[in-house]
Amino acid sequence: MPLRSAWLVNRTDAENGQSRADTRLAPLGAVTPVSGLAGRSGLIPGSPDGKSLTSALYVFSSTAGMTATIAPGRAVVQGSETAGAYPVVLTDYTSVTFADGDANNARTDLVVLRIYDAQTDNSGRTEAVLEILQGPADGSLALPQIPAPSLPLASVRVPAGSSVGTGGIAWATAVTDLRTTTVGVGGILPLYGNTAEPGGYPGQYRDVSTQLQRWNGGQWVDYPAQIGGIAPTGRIATGSYVGQYRDNNGRLERWNGTAWVLAMPSPAFAYDNDGGYCKTTTWSEALTGTTGPTVTATFIAPLSGNVLVTVGFQGQPGVEGGWGRMSANIRKSGVLVTGLGADETRSAIDTNRGTQSVTTTFPVTGLAAGTTYAAVSAYSSSATTNNHWFDNRFIRVDPML
């Protein structure tokens, strides 16, 4: 069998140990670590045309029957921490033959690259082999136990009653690829299986086909979620640091340490063109004689906590010399914010008879960044005898960055 393992036996041993060719072919050097003494078992990535992540030790069959072929390639099989890692190379396409199927039940067999080392496992054998482990033929289709040290290559479903004479194994659907990969320390690991496997150290990187990820010591984090990157929609629910950004279905959001808030809050605008009148001399959020709603502009406070509020209306006093004012109450969860109630110094006012359009803009400061507020229209009249008319009412809130 053209399967060789470096550093398994000495050249002077009776079993014909490591040759110069073994040393040249077998992958040497430090691989992806999983502890201080152990590395990650896996295949060395690469394919002849560069189009596949790895072609090494691929299990397939192009003919009917019970025989599969394993493609050449290189791998590292980690033994115990004290035994170390075994570099292995398969230099040619190699065939393996499965036992006939059980008469009554299908089973799942396992193809492994296995290391026998008499110095560490008391097996009496010292070699690297390609081995088929039969699963139980009890109807469970359970995988056989994976021996150590070995590297699973594929599981194969062996139908009940299958043999060369009955057509053998349905190769197109029977094989499940179980191969994994490994690379040198500091290299970007091309993920091939074992998606749930943790990283070996903070700062390790892996490629999951469409995304570069970094191990942060506790989880794999998409690289765009790292410092300076904008995380795509759906990637992260909780920010990693204050000032991190993410795209939330087209909205750019910033993590403030406890919540995602709009990075660039947009203006809020509310309008109603159904008129009504007010004759109260104190501030009222309701008008008489209108079916239109109270004008409410809901907004999110920007990082600065400051906004500009603009109110306006088309109005007409009911008596000569009368006047009417429109301002806004700033509410949070329906409760008036202290110091931010409607006020004559923050109001649009029209006086005398005749229809006029008036507006005013005033700053509101000290809001909590990322918190939702509402600017609610409020009205007052010069006298209870002045039915002051308010129409085309609007409120606009602009963030101050």
What is the percent of the chain with per-residue pLDDT over 70, rounded to a whole number?
A: 95
Q: Residue 287: how many CA atoms within 13 Å on its side-chain side?
A: 29
The encoded tokens of residue 346 equal 């923050």
Q: Once rounded to an integer, what is the mean pLDDT over residues 99-105?
A: 96
**All structural domains of the chain with their residue ranges:** 3-30+57-177, 227-263, 268-400
pLDDT score recorded for residue 204: 86
**pLDDT of 11 strictly over 70:** no
Gap between the Cα atoms of 108 and 143, Å rounded: 6
Mean pLDDT along residues 243-248:
89
* Residue bearing tokens 């795509």: 232
Q: Look at residue 352 in the predicted model and tell me its pLDDT.
A: 81
At the top level of CATH, which class does the domain 3-30+57-177 belong to?
mainly beta
CB 307 within 8 A of CB 397: yes
Query: pLDDT (tens digit, 9 = 90+) per residue, 126-159?
Result: 899 999 999 999 999 999 999 999 999 999 999 9
Q: What fold does the segment set 268-400 form as a domain?
A: Jelly Rolls (2.60.120)
Q: Is residue 275 very low, low, confident or very high in pLDDT (cuts 50, 70, 90)?
A: very high
Both structure tokens of 49? 């045309």
> Among the listed ranges 99-113, 120-134, 180-194, 363-377, which one has the minimum average pLDDT value?
180-194
* Residue 10 predicted with pLDDT over 70: no
Identify the band that residue 307 occupies on the pLDDT scale cut at 50, 70 and 90.
Answer: very high
Q: Which residue matches tokens 């007409």? A: 316
Nearest to 346 by CA among 355, 359, 333: 359
Distance CA 32, CA 75 (A): 12
pLDDT at 12 over 60: no
CB 146 within 8 A of CB 152: yes
pLDDT above 70: residue 13: no
Q: What is the mean pLDDT of the chain?
A: 90
Give strand pairing partners of 207: 190, 212
> For the ranges 86-95, 195-204, 284-293, which has the lowest average pLDDT?
195-204
Specify the pLDDT at position 5.
78
State how far the alpha carbon of 12 is from the alpha carbons of 86, 88, 191, in Å: 19, 20, 39
* pLDDT for position 227: 67
From residue 91, give the alpha-carbon distance in Å to each of 25, 72, 75, 203: 8, 5, 12, 34
Phi and psi, residue 374, nearest 5°: -135, 130
Specify whether the CB–CB gap between 85 and 38 falls below 8 A.
Answer: yes
Q: Are 323 and 351 in contact (CB under 8 A)?
A: yes
Over the stretch 55-65, which tens digit does the pLDDT of each residue have? 999 999 989 99
Q: How confident is the model at residue 8 (pLDDT cuts 50, 70, 90)?
A: confident
Count the Cβ atoms, other than its own, within 10 Å of residue 69: 14
CA distance 39 to 79: 9
**What average pLDDT does range 71-75 have in this prediction?**
95
Q: How far lies 76's CA from each of 4, 6, 168, 224, 352, in Å?
A: 12, 10, 32, 31, 92
DSSP 3-state of 344: helix
pLDDT at 84: 87
Distance CA 197, CA 39 (A): 13
Cis peptide before 265 (omega within 30 of 0): no
Q: What pLDDT is stored for residue 31 in this prediction?
A: 83
Average pLDDT over residues 248-259: 88
pLDDT at 166 over 80: yes
| In the predicted structure, residue 234 carries a pLDDT above the cut 90 | no
Q: Strands 220-222 and 230-231, how do they pair?
A: unpaired
Beta 85-90 vs 94-97: how paired, if at all? unpaired
More confident of the two residues 1 and 8: 8
Q: Residues 381-391: what's their mean pLDDT?
A: 96
